[in-house]
Amino acid sequence: MLSPDAGSKGSFKQLDILFMALLAGQILLCVILYFLAGNGENRSDASAMNWELSNTFVLVVMALLPGAYVLSRMIYLRRRAEGALLLGLQRKIEHYRATVVIQMAVLEGVNLIALVFFFLQG
């Protein structure tokens, strides 16, 4: 039987692995989109750095990123308060793990949208 300390270390290690997998997925998507977009050959230097506010994609991303951060913090704080009421270390660790996964999913979703919009912008 695992001691509570060993179980918690395993849970945190799983969160680290999950974070790295999500990060690798975002980097892989970025590389794939970069090559699908033609390695930047179709873009001039001026258009690649053109971040005018009139661009719809830029406005959407500028609204989504802070909104996702605020939403993820609100979810985290609400679930942290719920987790404080739980009894037992294992239940608290499971609740914390679920909370972190939800928080990472919200942030990754908006980041993936931002990547797609960046490459659609041309």
DSSP conformational letter for 88: S
Does residue 95 sit within a domain?
yes
DSSP conformational letter for 38: T
Q: How confident is the model at residue 77 (pLDDT cuts 50, 70, 90)?
A: very high
Domain extent at residue 83:
4-40+53-121
Does residue 47 sit within a domain?
no
Does residue 48 sit within a domain?
no
Place of tokens 């990754």: 108
Those residues with Cβ within 8 angstroms of residue 98's Cβ, 6 or more apart along the chain or in another chain: 79
Alpha helices in the chain (DSSP H): 4-36, 45-48, 56-84, 89-121
The count of domains in the chain is 1
Does residue 35 sit within a domain?
yes
Digit-coded pLDDT (tens) for 12-55? 888 889 889 988 988 998 888 888 876 655 555 555 445 555 57
| 3-state secondary structure (DSSP) of residue 9 | helix
Q: How confident is the model at residue 7 (pLDDT cuts 50, 70, 90)?
A: low
